[in-house]
A and B are shown apart, each in its own frame.
Chain A
């Protein structure tokens, strides 16, 4: 056997060996990346939290996700003025196909864009995106100008008109607020836990919502998106939303 042939043999052996090793190690390695963030650690761009909503499974007569969200975050209706101005972190939207009469409902909330217009327009940097893709309002910096509400194509943000009564959830009169993707649950050292809306949907048995890490190919949300695909609402705007929908007609 010439030296060349030996080298060729070695190369093939190494290639095969590494392929086998890759198969056996990779799943374990990937599984190990899905662990809760310790409390003292900052969020990182290794994760991107997102949500997937199956419009066919969303029951038109159910709004448990809305109730659960508002209960979890203390978004209590104002006492005095009419409820037109109440904050809505999540709402049910009814879609009707005029031609066929087909009716669907979907939950609509902050879409947690990768390129959020609300962050672009904020004059005080109060509207901001965390490293892990969660779009939030820093109410300490918010001056209540409501530019972000005008910039958001999803009508996802609300202004707090009246004094808040439930002080155990810091909200703040005169600032803007929206869905936080339940960041306090994501950051839970025992988590990451599902947002309240997803838990409520599961508890109701509809199972129309999935929450997970879009950057982790092994997460259920990524697998589902890979297999069935998912739509962004107003994908023409190129915002790369973190909330995706399936089976919209």
Chain B
């Protein structure tokens, strides 16, 4: 075997081992806790969601904010509710953790997501907001439980401005 061939063989071996290593490091996002339906599993076929989830979420964002469409199929909140449900021990992963559904892939491909600088990365207590009805005894009762006493103190001491 000439030196040239030896080098070539070494390169092939190195390349193969690199592929094998990449395989073992490839992200394995946690499975969703629910299936949207039996046929597509996720809200759209899984392959399509892997490729185009960002377009669905962004489209839904504009529809909801600008047109008031409040369907849940493609909403970010529903993604989180289903894909980042609490584990059996009650723990919920934060977007900074590597176990978080979004982080598993986004860390791997080094794509930063800004969603969670404002939006919640954990399932929210849906009892609180969008399901409040006008006939409820006013929801401040709920609020007093969910906000800290210091916060409520500051809110209620907000003095009236004076204006001529």
Contact = CB atoms under 8 A, between A and B. Distances in A.
Interface of A: 37, 39-43, 60, 63, 66-68, 70-72, 76-77, 83, 88, 91-96, 98, 105, 128, 130-132, 136, 138-140, 164, 167-173, 183-191, 193-194, 196, 199-200, 203
Contact of A91 (B65, B67, B134, B158): B158
B111 interface: no
A138 B64 CA distance: 11
Contacts of B162: 94, 96
A203 B135 CA distance: 10
Contacts of A190: 133
B67 A199 contact: no
B117 interface: yes
A128 B65 CA distance: 10
A138 B65 contact: yes
Interface residues of B, number: 42
Interface secondary structure of B, over-half rule:
loop
Contacts of A171: 118
Nearest to B135: A193
Interface string B103-144: 000000000000011111110110011101110011110010
Contacts of B164: 95-96, 98
Nearest to A39: B70
A112 B156 CA distance: 25
Interface secondary structure of A, over-half rule:
loop
Contact of A140 (B61, B70, B137): B61
21 contacts: A40-B69, A41-B69, A63-B156, A67-B156, A67-B158, A68-B138, A71-B140, A72-B129, A91-B160, A93-B163, A139-B118, A164-B118, A167-B121, A168-B125, A168-B129, A186-B68, A188-B70, A189-B70, A190-B133, A193-B134, A199-B134
Nearest to A78: B154
Interface string B34-76: 0000000000000000000000000001010111111110000
